[in-house]
Structure 1
Amino acid sequence: MKKLALFLIYLILFTAACGTNNSNHKEDSKLESTEKTFKDDTGNEIKIPKNPKNIAVLHPTYVGALVKFGHKPIAVPEFVNKNKVLNDSTQGIKRIDNTSIEQVTHQKPDLIITTTQDKNIKKLQKIAPTVAFDAEKSNYKDNTQKLATLVNEESKAKQWIKEWDTQMAKDRKELEPVIKEKSISVLQQTPKGTMAFSDHLGRGTEILYDGYRMKQTKALAQATKNKFATPINPENFADYIGDFAVIATNGKQNVPFENTNYWRNLSAVKNKNIIKFDVTITQYNDPISLEKQRDIFYKALMNIK
């Protein structure tokens, strides 16, 4: 009888333990089913929601891809108000101060998207899983694919990139008499002076260099090899400005360097190969912005004789 009693007690304890293990396993499985791992540009592997519903985006560059693929964020930075294309495509979405932890917290996000340069990353990580992108480490196609991965829309991103590449090839063929083997420079007058941009910082650079395969001058390519832009002085215009020049303006902003002889003596100016481009309409390198920029630059180049 004692042996039987001990056996029954053991059996009860064993069954209870199995029940506990099964319960823990079910809880772990349930947790795993709602999360996935994403490696961002910091190199960290982050546990994020498998199907994020409340995404706060803290830099304009990373808004357009989500919207393009049918996943509007719950909050975007106030900067989008200054950009017509993004402003129009994010109507009804809350604008916030991207530097305000309080405002981000108030939105109750389940995922936050920011840049590696964001000084508040550690604080943001306490609010929700935070993914950081670095424009120096990834180009617009990389960003489009990564952002699509966050919302399980990889197939849509691949399709967009495929269609985009097809459009760029078609444009190149049509524009070949004008752009083949030609150099082009994108300039903007800023508080820091006249800046000449790299080949991957919005303002149409992705289209002109990657899409249309126009070139940078040697001096500009070297100066922007490891940075987004370089300041240039009027006396150096001839080295940095190619066969064509794009002037990125802020609305109807006056561009002082156009009144200098250094500018007037450029072959691009004499040949009327100048394109004015308003960054308040579109500026960034997300799919929505790029599509608008393509319209602008394709038409401008087609009109150049």
Structure 2
Amino acid sequence: MKKFIPAIMLLVLVVVLSACGSNKANNTNTASGTVTYQSESGPVEIPANPKRIVALAYAPNMISMGANIVGVDQWTNMSPLFNEKLKGVEVVSDEDLEKIIELDPDLIVVGTESKNVAKLSEIAPTVTFTWGKLDYLNQQLEIGKILGKEKEAQTWVDDFKSRAAAIGDEIKAKIGEDATVSVIETDAKSFYVFGDHWARGTEVLYQAMGLKMPEKVAKDAQGPGYYTLSQELLSDYAGDYIVLSRSSANDNAFMNTDTWKNIPAVKNKHVIEIDTEASSYSDPTTLESLLAIFKEGFLK
């Protein structure tokens, strides 16, 4: 009997250790330093801590978490918020296969709309994301997973939501709970008004802060994300406050027209300007920058 008890304990220990080892193998390969990421297109074995990333999508999200980017898309490269961090980084597209091979990436991130996903996957483990499938916070959590920084991503998400909500409460206390805000952008040819999930600070204003958009904006822009309109219709979509996204490189002569000057929000100096190139993403760096701009713009 005394010999039987240790034998049973040994058997239980072996079973437990085997189960733990099997469970770990399904997620992490300690020998090769890889993990299995459950992407929307299926499981992908990726580096546990990727060191050389070609980011053809969601580069700002990765840069915000300190990822080492060796190849980046042209649009991210245009944002002044990332100029310093992208010095010396090769600008590539999903068609620059030879360039990407030369960069020797250990991870590639690209949109599902790419026609070269299969070819990219032959170069390095490739993770695809469908733009807009996840909201801006859950997207950041997924980026955290592929970088091995899920806890850091969750910490930022929780903190940002708390701070943005508090600032939103301050703003609503000042401008009124029913005051409306429109986000309008111009590219010198057309004007656009946005719903609550199309960058330009819309996630901050409407989702995180809980500010209201005009009914007409909600009707026409909320579903598709944005709505194109003529200069003559700007006043119909303007809220009590306007966040104006514009590029200094474009012709902004419209700001000198009576159509613009006669909009009540413009008359009341309720216009907050943001740089289009610096507000086209919804990553932590961009969102933190916009949060600071909105806090000053509404509460000053």
What is aligned with 1:36? 35
What is aligned with 1:194? 191
Residue aligned with 2:84, SS: helix
Counterparts of 1:194 and 1:206, CA distance in 2: 19
Please report how far the alpha carbon of residue 36 of structure 1 lies from its aligned counterpart in structure 2 after TM superposition: 2.9
Counterparts of 1:213 and 1:29, CA distance in 2: 41
1:29–1:209 Cα change, 3 Å: closer
1:179 and 1:214 in contact (8 A); partners too = no
Q: How does 1:255-266 map to 2 (within 5 A)?
A: 255-266=252-263
Please report how far the alpha carbon of residue 38 of structure 1 lies from its aligned counterpart in structure 2 after TM superposition: 2.4
Counterparts of 2:59 and 2:65, CA distance in 1: 11
Please report how far the alpha carbon of residue 282 of structure 1 lies from its aligned counterpart in structure 2 after TM superposition: 4.3
Higher RCO (C-alpha under 8 Å, 6+ residues apart): 1
Q: 1:42-97: CA deviations, max 9, x gaps?
A: x43333233322211013xx223323333222222233332111122333433334
Report the TM-score, using the length of structure 2 for normalisation.
Answer: 0.81
What is aligned with 1:11? none
What is aligned with 1:174? 170
Please report how far the alpha carbon of residue 39 of structure 1 lies from its aligned counterpart in structure 2 after TM superposition: 3.2
The answer to whether structure 1 residue 285 and structure 2 residue 268 are counterparts is no
Matched pairs, number: 274
What is aligned with 2:121? 125
The answer to whether structure 1 residue 148 and structure 2 residue 144 are counterparts is yes
Q: Which amino acid in 1 is paired with 2:147?
A: V
Q: Which amino acid in 1 is paired with 2:277?
A: T
Counterparts of 1:261 and 1:100, CA distance in 2: 47
What is aligned with 1:108? 104
1:29–1:193 Cα change, 3 Å: closer
Q: How does 1:230-269 map to 2 (within 5 A)?
A: 230-251=227-248, 253-269=250-266
Q: How does 1:3-152 map to 2 (within 5 A)?
A: 32-33=29-30, 34=32, 35-41=34-40, 43-59=41-57, 62-152=58-148
Counterparts of 2:293 and 2:39, CA distance in 1: 32
* Greater Rg by CA: 1
Counterparts of 2:104 and 2:126, CA distance in 1: 13
Residue aligned with 2:69, SS: coil
1:219–1:289 Cα change, 3 Å: same
Residue aligned with 1:88, SS: coil
Identity %: 28
1:86 and 1:289 in contact (8 A); partners too = no
What is aligned with 1:165? 161
**Runs of 5+ consecutive residues of structure 2 not aligned to the other structure:** 1-21
**Runs of 5+ consecutive residues of structure 1 not aligned to the other structure:** 1-24
The answer to whether structure 1 residue 274 and structure 2 residue 287 are counterparts is no
1:85 and 1:282 in contact (8 A); partners too = no
Q: 1:186-222: CA deviations, max 9, x gaps?
A: 1111265111122122221121111221122222222
Report the TM-score, using the length of structure 1 for normalisation.
Answer: 0.80
The answer to whether structure 1 residue 229 and structure 2 residue 226 are counterparts is yes
What is aligned with 2:15? none
